[in-house]
A and B are shown apart, each in its own frame.
Chain A
Amino acid sequence: MTIDIPFIWIAFKEIVKSLPITLILTVVPLLIGFLIGIAVALVRVYQVKFLYRAANGYVSFFRGTPIIMHVMLIYFGFPLLINQISERFDLGIQANSIPIILFVLTALSLAAGAYLSEIIRSGILSVSNGQLEAAYSVGMTSFQAMIRIILPQALAQSIPNFTNIFVGFLHTSSIAFLVSEKEVTGAANIVASTNLKFLEAFIAAGMIYWGLTIIVEGISFLLEKRVTAYNRGGVS
């Protein structure tokens, strides 16, 4: 087996077409996960009765099991659930008619919610208590203080962590190919097995992921500089 270098470029052009699916599988779960994450983080920070335990359990479970398990549990579990509900209430919805990508998106969103809630929570806890006291002293309500003072600082401080999660989920989206989703890894797998050139196809896929990661890290670096511009430290 030798390496066919020109084929890497051919494979690259073929695989790059599936990039939109990878991006959807990365961005949508992170957006939904962000909303879940904020809600869960607030529940945990304020220690809302009863809900607090549920939130802890959710975060602990999703962080404590591989994401491939979440994908598989939902991929196999939801159709059963949907069919059962549909039968009971006579809704006439067939689980087979639901595109697989929705199951994958659900699973990834739930996982993203758990990871993001931890980041947002630690962001909130890292904002100095004096900020909250200052907000109260000028007459803000708890809600105003949270929305106007605490959250913006917490989120700005969390940018490096958000970048890590973004890159992490970009890479995690590759497991969608295990449920035959045609994103970058899935496309690479197809190109590889139809041409019997596995190494070249995966080199091309690797380059796509690597390039994307470098771009994302670059953007995050610029963003961090901008967003934390107010935060100059003590003397200057």
Chain B
Amino acid sequence: MGKAFDPLLIIEFIPTLVHYLGVTLQILAASIFLGLILGIAAAIPRLFKIPLLNQVVILYVSFIRGTPIIIQLFLVFYGLPAVLMLFNIDISKLEAIYFVIITYAISNGASFAEIFRGAIRAVDYGQTEAAYSVGMTARQNFFRVVFPQAIRIAFPNMANSVIGSLKDTSLAFTIGVMDMVGRGDTLIASTAHALEVYISLSIIYYAVVLLFEKIFSKLEKYFNRYQKSNVSTTA
């Protein structure tokens, strides 16, 4: 099990590993962006109860909520090439990072869809009635009245989702992606100081999560700037 514990190595490893934080953040940013699009697309059939599509989305969300992300990762990694092969598209040479991004986008899409749906339904129906009473169209009502309020309601959940997703990216190395944890793995192989590597990784993840939490709580305050303090969710 490796050599004696050396605390100095923890500090020594951090710069090497931070170098690969970019890959982790890249996966996160790409999958959040694609997940947002997918989430909006999936929330619409649920909100307007479009037959068939509604059921498909329910199944999609249930599956993503019902299986571990690591299983989803393996399913995409092994399944997507097999499925696309049926259409004579060969993606077996595609880099592993794209499979990771696709998986996390699909996974984020499901949670975003649920968050959007919940948030839009949480906006008081009186708001819509008020909008119609001053002569707004359905579209104006949605974009000017309901949507801005829904963002405020959805934001804390979205922030949690993003942070959860950041932590989930630590599993990307299982299909061979060279992110922070993947680099850590090679460090372990070359130095046999597993514990020190994982302490360094934990420190980096913790620092990034704390930073994200700080930014999100600032943003949340901003979104709540028109709320009276006694009903604020940030109290």
**A residues engaging B (CB < 8 A)?**
1-3, 60-61, 64-69, 72-73, 76-77, 79-80, 167, 170-172, 174-175, 177-178, 185, 188, 198-199, 202-203, 205-206, 209-214
* Interface CB pairs A-B, < 8 A, 11: A1-B81, A3-B82, A64-B210, A66-B170, A67-B167, A73-B199, A177-B70, A199-B82, A202-B79, A206-B63, A209-B68
Say yes or no: A202 contacts B167, CB within 8 Å.
Answer: no
Report B65-99 CB contacts with A as 1/0, cut-off 8 Å.
11111111011001101100100000000000000
Say yes or no: A64 contacts B198, CB within 8 Å.
Answer: no
Say yes or no: B205 contacts A66, CB within 8 Å.
Answer: yes
Of A66, A77, A206, the residue contacting B167 (CB under 8 A) is A66
Q: Which of B67, B72, B168 has the most CB of A within 10 A?
A: B67
- Binding site secondary structure of chain B: helix
B201 within 8 A of A: yes
Say yes or no: B171 contacts A167, CB within 8 Å.
Answer: no
Say yes or no: A199 contacts B194, CB within 8 Å.
Answer: no
Tell me the number of A-to-B contacts counted with CB atoms below 8 Å: 100
B26 within 8 A of A: no
| Residues of chain A within 8 A of B82, CB atoms compared | 1-3, 199
* Bound Cα distance from A3 to B84, whole angstroms: 12
| Residues of chain A within 8 A of B1, CB atoms compared | 76, 79-80
Report B165-183 CB contacts with A as 1/0, cut-off 8 Å.
0011011001000000100
Report the nearest B residue to A202, measured CB to CB: B74
Report the nearest B residue to A205, measured CB to CB: B71
Report B100-111 CB contacts with A as 1/0, cut-off 8 Å.
000000000000
